[in-house]
């Protein structure tokens, strides 16, 4: 069993925090196209939620990954996608490799403040010419004595405008593309780091997303996470947690939209009966609730395997793929049942429709997920056979 009675207290505490400190302000933050990340993260850090499964010696709680999944699921109750995503970047995208492979020195400098909520982190992988194709990134970190000198640029960086440091994937040699990359912690105040612009997005409006340039940025090699040349491997491991986290964060968000749609269609009448009385409506909602429960079962199974120390690439990839596609189908169907009101920005279903679209893109597009699965199934042309 993934969750036990030990999860109940932190779950209730997080639910209370969301109800008091986040949801009352979401509409305001969505209009402002940003939220007070440093203030909110400090509150979350003080409650221990930014380091649930991080090492105790660096300020974490030392719990297993099931607690991170519990948190991701509860964050889905936030009335937008942008704030949960920003929190997830801090806890499950920018810091897992650092916590696992970083030296004590680099963890004290970057992980400790991230867990405490004293620093906002972001993850720098995607580039204008290399999104899901991680191996093709061009940003390079040239060796110069005890330093790296970084040049290049990153795109679609969540938390990038306000971040204090970035977990940067860069080429540190001219070798084979899967073995020439390293993850490096780069302070955003470093000379040569430029936040070029805050990006204007279709959804996730309350999160700040940036394009960032690096012009001869000098950082000490001690800021590297783990071994040189292992960055691609470390990032693939981070993707397991990122993709599971992203899928889990969809569960309560989807259930909320279904519940709100049931309530609206039960009270809205057309042609002498409620919208909900139409079989096409109540049958579809039943199907969508079933799909959410099936997704939950897949996520929980993957979570149990991860806690047991197993490679969950296959299950996490499936969960990410299913979460993105279900989000598109579910929000589209529910918005349709809201009719004209569904097209209004004032309704949560409209926001969910825009926000959920990112799940099929961020952290690896659907097509990349399918490619990964086909490789593992031995059905991808030219890829040979690989055990799953």
- Rg (C-alpha) for the chain, rounded Å, is 21
CA 115, 85, 359 angle in degrees (round to 5)?
Answer: 140
242 catalytically annotated: yes
CA dist 133 and 125 (Å) reads 10
Identify the active-site residue in 73, 242, 255, 304.
242
CA 150, 155, 157 angle in degrees (round to 5)?
Answer: 95
CA dist 190 and 80 (Å) reads 32
C-alpha distance from residue 161 to each of 87, 166, 227, 236 (Å): 14, 11, 29, 25
Q: DSSP per residue over 101-131, as a string?
A: H--HHHIIIIIHHHHHTSS-EEEE--BTTBS
Alpha helices in the chain (DSSP H): 8-17, 26-32, 37-46, 65-75, 82-92, 96-101, 104-106, 112-116, 231-267, 279-307, 313-338, 348-355, 366-377
C-alpha distance from residue 13 to each of 6, 18, 49, 139, 161 (Å): 12, 9, 10, 41, 29
Query: Strand, coil or helix: what is 382?
Result: coil
Report, as residue numbers or ranges, the catalytic residues. 242
């Amino acid at each position: 069993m993934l969750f036990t009675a030990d999860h109940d207290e932190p779950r209730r505490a997080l639910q209370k925090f969301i109800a008091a400190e986040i949801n009352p302000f979401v509409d305001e933050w969505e209009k402002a196209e940003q939220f007070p990340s440093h203030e909110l993260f400090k509150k979350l850090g003080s409650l221990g939620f930014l380091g649930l499964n991080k090492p105790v010696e660096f300020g974490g709680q030392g719990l297993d990954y099931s607690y991170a999944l519990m948190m991701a699921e509860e964050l889905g109750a936030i009335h937008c996608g942008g704030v949960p995503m920003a929190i997830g970047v801090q806890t499950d995208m920018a810091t897992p490799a650092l916590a696992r492979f970083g030296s004590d020195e680099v963890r004290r400098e970057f992980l400790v403040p991230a867990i405490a909520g004293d620093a906002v982190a972001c993850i720098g992988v995607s580039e204008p010419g290399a999104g899901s194709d991680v191996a093709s990134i061009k940003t390079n970190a040239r060796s110069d004595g005890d330093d790296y000198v970084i040049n290049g640029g990153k795109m679609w960086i969540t938390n990038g405008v306000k971040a204090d440091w970035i977990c940067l994937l860069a080429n540190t040699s001219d070798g084979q593309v899967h073995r020439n990359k390293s993850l490096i912690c780069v302070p955003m105040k470093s000379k040569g780091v430029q936040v070029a612009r805050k990006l204007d997005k279709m959804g996730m409006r309350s999160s700040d997303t940036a394009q960032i340039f690096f012009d001869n940025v000098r950082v000490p090699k001690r800021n590297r996470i783990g071994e040189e040349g292992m960055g691609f491997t470390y990032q693939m491991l981070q993707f397991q947690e990122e993709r599971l986290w992203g899928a889990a964060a969809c569960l309560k968000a989807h259930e909320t939209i279904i519940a709100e749609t049931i309530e609206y269609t039960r009270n809205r009448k057309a042609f002498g009966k409620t919208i909900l009385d139409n079989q096409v409506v109540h049958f579809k909602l039943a199907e969508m609730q079933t799909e959410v429960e099936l997704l939950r079962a897949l996520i929980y199974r993957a979570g149990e395997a991860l806690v047991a120390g197993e490679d969950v690439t296959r299950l996490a990839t499936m969960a990410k793929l299913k979460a993105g596609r279900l989000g598109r189908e579910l929000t589209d169907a529910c918005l349709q049942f809201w009719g004209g009101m569904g097209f209004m920005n004032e309704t949560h279903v409209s926001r969910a429709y825009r926000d959920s679209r990112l799940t099929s893109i961020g952290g690896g597009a659907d097509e990349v997920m399918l490619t990964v699965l086909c490789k593992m199934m031995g059905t991808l042309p030219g890829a040979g056979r690989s055990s799953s």
